[in-house]
Amino acid sequence: MNSMYGGVYIPNLANDAKQYGIGEYRFAHNYEFAGKTFKICADGKEYTLHFCCEHGVEFNGEKTEWECEKLEKTMYFVRFGANCAAIDLENGLATLVLDGEEKPVLGVIDGYEPKEKQAICTDDMVGTFVRWVFGVNRYVNHDYCAPGKIRSAWARHTVHIGGGRSFRDGWQPTDADYVEEDAVEVKLGGAYYLVIVDAKMPEGEGYVAPADVKKLVLLEDYDRCMTVGCAFGSEGGPIMMAGYAMFLN
Amino acid sequence: MNLKNYPRPFYAINQFCQPQCTELAGRSFYFDMDGGYDYELKVLTGDTCEWNIAGEEPKKAVYECLKGDDTTYMFDFDIVGAEPRQNFFFCIDLEQSLVTLVRCYIGRNPKFPLLVASEYDFGAIRVEGQPLPKKRHCLTGEMMGTTVEWHWNITMFTQHNYYSPAYYRITWPQYSSAEGSISPNFEVLAASDEISQYVKIKDKMYLYCLTEEMMERELGDSSPFRSNNMIFLQNYDRMYHVGRTFGSIMMDGKVVPCRTMFGSFGNPVRLEYNWLTAENPFTV
């Protein structure tokens, strides 16, 4: 965003980083898992995640790539291929969201004996109305309106029209911009929740998220009020994200 | 439950701080510094390290490390046993094999003993089989003209104007919680302009360093903030920063150390022309 002063353009490093879309605030990749292996047990099944190096992982023996964002001291969000996981090294919990599976896998990491396990929420989050800001003017409003239901509204692009003004300056979603989506919310303990949204992208032009996103998975921390996660299903590939919360009620 | 009401502790500028990064554990570095004293750094665990000037005995420290991007780290520790306190801040750039060291000292100014003094040193990281880079991180004027809004926590955001190689100025709108939390300290000052330094790390990444010097000179013990040095590793590619404070604060009438890790998310902002161009009353 440059400004003009006396006919001279003054450079300004602040920008809207539009090349990253809703992935703008993605944290730096975290490589702490490189070289580590986790055996995860859930419902009598065993899953193995072997992080071979900073980019390659084997999941149950199948090779794919991975990326990780760290949310808190011992809380990580990992995407591997079309799958993802919330890994809690304090309590030894691994919650897997696997491509094609309807429900998340609530697993325990081998070697840990957690005092409390993760659990599917009932009405734990109902009443929460939060905006997750993923970039400059790029956000989604999430209204946890009923167990397993979220009302969502994505922001729309601002378009600079000159004179320092933008089309849609101060734009706010109205009722018509909200869609109701199915969601699975998992309580991970403390302030942490994993929210898996069966995304129904709004019809029409100008929304900040790609129209073909199918699934949104967010690891949300209501203590520090930040989130990391991933939007899946878009033709451009999975979009790793991070952002901060603004409460709307 | 409306999770807005989650029973969280009070956060100031530290709520949106990204987590400690421990991935350098097990690694050792040799920093070839232009200032004449090379440094060795051995990262022992996720929070402890050994450091020394080359040729001297290693000393232990407890460090904090945050990432500015995939290959750039701020690595920060207080010097154990130093009285008055000292702090070393390394910006470790593994992409370019470069390093910046900011050494901060309290107690160097006899008139204002709490003032933090800073020394900057630039260097290269020795990598086996590779020649030492000739390039360096460097003091820069490239940030001049930047206006940016930083979101520190769920209610507080501030607006910065980087307009001079030696100063910056800060403001906030009335609907930011900064209005209640920090504005009383600024309202008694002639202006919010404060001493700053700017270092270029790479394209779109800068160290922005400020010291609350004017506030300490003007207000002394009538302000709770006593000359904190704040270093921001600012990423204008992704529009966020990570950083730390080193200085002192008044608490219950006593001066106590202030050390905070912080972070925030940014966006461009349009600010009033009159404010942007107002005179800095602390300069000729």
Whole-number Å distance between alpha carbons of A134 and B228:
30
Nearest by CB to residue B236, choosing from A15, A26, A72, is A15
Exposure string of B82-100, with b = 16+ CB inside 10 Å and e = fewer, is: eeebbbbbbbbbbebbbbb
A155 touches chain B (CB under 8 A): no
B146 touches chain A (CB under 8 A): yes
A235 φ/ψ sector (left φ>0, alpha ψ -120 to 50, else beta): alpha
* A222·B3 Cβ contact <8 A: yes
Looking at residue A5, its pLDDT comes to 56
* B146·A226 Cβ contact <8 A: no
Whole-number Å distance between alpha carbons of B221 and B210:
19
B164 touches chain A (CB under 8 A): no
How do the domains of chain A map onto residue ranges?
A: 121-247
Whole-number Å distance between alpha carbons of B178 and B153:
10
Q: Which residues of chain B have pLDDT under 70?
A: none
* B238·A16 Cβ contact <8 A: no
* B8·A20 Cβ contact <8 A: no
B154 touches chain A (CB under 8 A): yes
Kindly list the residues from chain B whose CB atom is less than 8 angstroms away from the CB atom of residue A3: 145
Kindly list the residues from chain B whose CB atom is less than 8 angstroms away from the CB atom of residue A16: 239, 267-268
Looking at residue A2, its pLDDT comes to 55
Of A70, A42, A25, A147, the residue nearest B239 (C-alpha)? A25
With a CB cutoff of 8 Å and minimum separation 6, the contacts of A210 are A21, A22, A201, A231, A234, A235, A236, A239
- Min distance B9 CA to chain A CA atoms (Å): 8
Looking at residue A206, its pLDDT comes to 84
Beta-carbon-side half-sphere exposure of residue A29 (alpha carbons within 13 Å): 12
Of B48, B112, B56, B55, the residue nearest B84 (C-alpha)? B112
B45 touches chain A (CB under 8 A): no
For chain A, percent helix, then strand, then coil, each to nearest 5?
A: 5, 50, 45
Could you report the predicted ipTM of this complex, rounded to two decimals? 0.95
Facing residues of A182 across strands? A149
B266 touches chain A (CB under 8 A): yes
B151 touches chain A (CB under 8 A): yes
* B154·A245 Cβ contact <8 A: yes
- Min distance A57 CA to chain B CA atoms (Å): 17
Looking at residue B274, its pLDDT comes to 93
Looking at residue A203, its pLDDT comes to 81
Q: What does each of the 249 residues of chain A score in pLDDT, given as a tens digit?
A: 455 556 677 789 999 898 999 999 999 999 999 999 999 999 999 999 999 999 999 999 999 999 999 999 999 999 999 999 999 999 999 999 999 999 999 999 999 999 999 999 989 999 999 999 999 999 999 999 999 999 999 998 877 666 666 666 677 888 988 999 999 999 999 999 999 999 998 887 888 999 999 999 999 999 999 999 999 999 989 999 999 999 999
Q: What is the mean pLDDT of chain B?
A: 96
The pair of three-digit structure tokens given for residue B207, joined into one six-digit string = 């160290």
Phi, psi of B53 (to 5 degrees): -70, 140
* B153·A71 Cβ contact <8 A: no
Q: DSSP label at B11?
A: -
- Minimal-distance CA residue of chain B relative to A147: B1
- Min distance B88 CA to chain A CA atoms (Å): 23
Of B172, B248, B169, B270, the residue nearest B210 (C-alpha)? B169
B2 touches chain A (CB under 8 A): yes
A185 touches chain B (CB under 8 A): no
Q: DSSP label at B218?
A: H
How do the domains of chain B map onto residue ranges?
A: 28-132, 139-276
* Signed CA dihedral, B240, B244, B245, B251: sign only: positive
Our measurement of the distance from residue A157's CA atom to the centroid of its chain's CA atoms, rounded to an integer in Å, reads: 20
* A14·B236 Cβ contact <8 A: yes
Of B150, B186, B143, the residue nearest B164 (C-alpha)? B143
Looking at residue B147, its pLDDT comes to 96
Instruction: Show which of residues 71-100 on chain A sit within 8 Å of chain B, judged by CB atoms.
Output: 71-73, 75
- Min distance A32 CA to chain B CA atoms (Å): 5
- Minimal-distance CA residue of chain A relative to B270: A164
Phi, psi of B220 (to 5 degrees): 55, -135
CATH topology of domain B28-132: Lipocalin (2.40.128)
Q: DSSP label at A207?
A: B
Domains B28-132 and B139-276 share a fold: yes
Looking at residue A167, its pLDDT comes to 66
Looking at residue B35, its pLDDT comes to 97
B12 touches chain A (CB under 8 A): no
CATH architecture designation of domain B139-276: Beta Barrel (2.40)
Instruction: Report the number of secondary-structure helices (H) and strands (E) in chain B.
Output: 4, 18
Q: What string of DSSP letters covers B124-152?
A: EE--TTSPPPS---EE-STTTTEEEEEE-
A171 touches chain B (CB under 8 A): no
Q: What is the pLDDT of residues B129-156, one digit of tens each?
A: 999 999 999 999 999 999 999 999 999 9
- Min distance B28 CA to chain A CA atoms (Å): 16
